[in-house]
Amino acid sequence: MRPYSHFLDQIKEAGLRPTRQRLALSKLLFGVENRHVTAESLHGEAQGEKMRVSLATVYNTLHQFTKAGMLREIVVDAQRSYFDTNTGSHHHFYFEKDGQLMDINDEMISIAKIPQAPEGMAIKSVDVVVRVVDK
């Protein structure tokens, strides 16, 4: 487990105050590698760990961390927003059955030809979602 100071510094570097809530959520999010969470799931997790954080603060924090580049938002479901602690370029499996996301190892996929953006536009990202279902 990373030391307390790691989370503290990360938050400070983002220009945010290291509040009890942000530290708690940081620990959950960045304590292990490659997590995919929704606001609800993270909030539930925090409550399970007896951390007192409101759902509104979870939403705020996820957005602040995303803006600071610590998280990446993934759109796979029209019903809820997912956040990925892996901010590097990579793609996802999405299990429609239970709403789970899984990273696709970058060597496992390759986009051979990327289209040009329409006139006057720039490509911001290329997101691949492989939807999988039970066989």
Partner DNA sequence: GTGTTTGCAAAGTGTTTGCAATTTA
Partner DNA sequence: TAAATTGCAAACACTTTGCAAACAC
Site membership for a second copy, residue 128 (CB under 8 A)? yes
Site membership for a second copy, residue 77 (CB under 8 A)? yes
Binding a second copy by CB under 8 A: which of 4, 12, 47, 75?
75
* Residue 70 neighbours by CB distance under 10 Å: 20
**Distance from the Cα of residue 104 to its chain's centroid:** 14
Round to whole Å and give the CA distance between 74 and 92: 9
Per CB under 8 A, the segment of 8-16, 18-26, 55-63, 71-79 that binds a second copy is 71-79
Nearer to a second copy by Cβ, of 5 and 116: the residue is 116
Kindly identify the residues of this chain, within the stretch 94-133, that bind DNA according to CB under 7 A.
none
Site membership for DNA, residue 68 (CB under 7 A)? no
Q: Is 52 left (phi over 0), alpha (psi -120 to 50) or beta?
A: beta
Nearer to DNA by Cβ, of 54 and 120: the residue is 54
Round to whole Å and give the CA distance between 55 and 102: 24
